[in-house]
Amino acid sequence: MIAFIIRRVLQAVVVMLVISLVVFAIKNQFGDPVRDLVGERVTPEERQQIADKMGLNDPFFVQYGRFVKNAVTQGDLGRSFLYNKPNLEVIANHAPATIELVLGTALIIIVLSLPLGVYCALKPRSWLSRFTMSFSTLGVSMPVFLTAILLIYLFAVHWRILPSYGRGETVDLFGNGIWMTGLLTVDGLKHLILPCISLSTLMLPLFIRLIRSEMMEVLETEYIKYAWAKGLSPRRVWLVHAFKNTLLPVITVFGVQIGIMFAFTLLTELVFQWPGMGFMFLEAVNRADLSLLIAYLVVVAALFVVVNTVVDILYGFINPTVRITGTK
């Protein structure tokens, strides 16, 4: 087990090093830190001096070593030329908005997909199941941004019952200005509804189908037949015996899909002008802030690598065969 953990962590470190090397090469080749720092109105001589002082004329691998060292020991990923603040601080300021959006969406998905998926598995021929299934095929084919635009039109422009963009009123969660939350005000919650619904239309069909097929498979197994034979009530067989065993694969997929959802928050955040990380990223692209872009890339990559590693290790605890297959 320890060997497995070490191997998995080493692999994660190697992946991060490769990503950081690629990213650093791009930054080194195309970025201009002197411009980021002092702007365009400096003579070439002064520019050269600043470059010397910052070590920009050192060999590539010396600079790369410094980049990794600063990033690991001080959490220093450079400064944003757009916000004129350390990149990490800019990203941290925008993170809560995105996290709240993802949390709200996850909640909608859990609340809706579990009952619907189970129902579709138990009563595959009822009209509600058929409707849900055809609706989910349509949902898969519908781009998130289109859903979002249509939702804004219906609820914000046509009926005027929900706000159309932004986060609304936010309050400071810890009193230190880092986590501004919209979850505690009515206005903030109202602003959350439409973005969360449009983001959830992406994953909801997938989960309904997954839960349905897993449940149907479980219902065919021997132990369920045995439970029926014992004369247990349908409710007990379905909800206690079958449902429990449906959950394990669903939870695994859920973990992976949350990561994918982060990618799609970009689209929702753009339509709803939601001031999260995705919106910040697009602004960095439009204003050519390469430094911020790269810092964001490193942060996202690190996030994914850490989450994947942790999930794999946890899986190693639950399911010993995973540990063995990787050994050869």
Partner 1 sequence: MKTKLQQFKESYFLYSFMRDWVAMASLVVLVVFLVIAFAAPWISPMDPYDATNIDIMNSEIPPMWMDGGSKEFPLGTDNQGRDMLSTMFYGLRTSIIIGLGAVAIQAGIGIVLGLMAGYLGGKTDAILMRLADIQFSFPYLMVAIFMSAIFQVVFGLGSFERMAIPLLTLIIGLSNWPMFARTIRASVMGEKNKEYVEAARVIGLPQRIIMFRHILPNALTSVMVISTIQVANAVMSEAALSFLGLGMPVTKPSLGSLIRAGQEYFFSGSWWITVLPGIWLVLFVLVINLLGDWLRDVLNPKLYKG
Quick check: 299 binds partner 1 (CB under 8 A)?
Answer: no
**Binder of partner 1 out of 212, 238, 275, 276 (CB under 8 A):** 212
Closest approach, Cβ 15 to partner 1, in A, equals 6
Quick check: 304 binds partner 1 (CB under 8 A)?
Answer: yes
**Binder of partner 1 out of 73, 176, 286, 325 (CB under 8 A):** 286
**Binder of partner 1 out of 194, 197, 227, 290 (CB under 8 A):** 290
* Torsion angle defined by CA atoms of residues 133, 137, 138 and 142, in that order, rounded to the nearest 10 degrees: 140
Closest approach, Cβ 230 to partner 1, in A, equals 27
305 to 324: interface string for partner 1, x by CB under 8 A: x--x----------------
Element (H, E) at 80: strand 79-80
DSSP per-residue letters across 237-261: IIIIIIHHHHHHHHHHHHHHHHHHH
Nearest one of 316, 324, 307, 323 to 15, comparing CA atoms: 307
For tokens 């859903």, the residue is 147
Q: What 3-state class would DSSP assign to 101? A: helix
Closest approach, Cβ 247 to partner 1, in A, equals 17
Closer by beta carbon to partner 1, 115 or else 143: 143
How far apart, in Å, are the Cα atoms of 13 and each of 9, 16, 126, 312? 6, 5, 51, 15
Instruction: Choose the binding region for partner 1 from 50-58, 76-84, 185-193, 292-300 (rule: CB under 8 A).
Output: 292-300
Quick check: 28 binds partner 1 (CB under 8 A)?
Answer: no
Q: What 3-state class would DSSP assign to 171? A: strand
For tokens 């007990």, the residue is 236
Instruction: Choose the binding region for partner 1 from 45-53, 75-83, 239-247, 286-294 (rule: CB under 8 A).
Output: 286-294
Closer by beta carbon to partner 1, 106 or else 297: 297
What are residue 80's phi and psi, to 5 degrees? -85, 130
Closest approach, Cβ 308 to partner 1, in A, equals 5
What span, in angstroms and rounded, lies between the C-alpha atoms of 151 and 158?
Answer: 10
213 to 232: interface string for partner 1, x by CB under 8 A: x--xx---------------
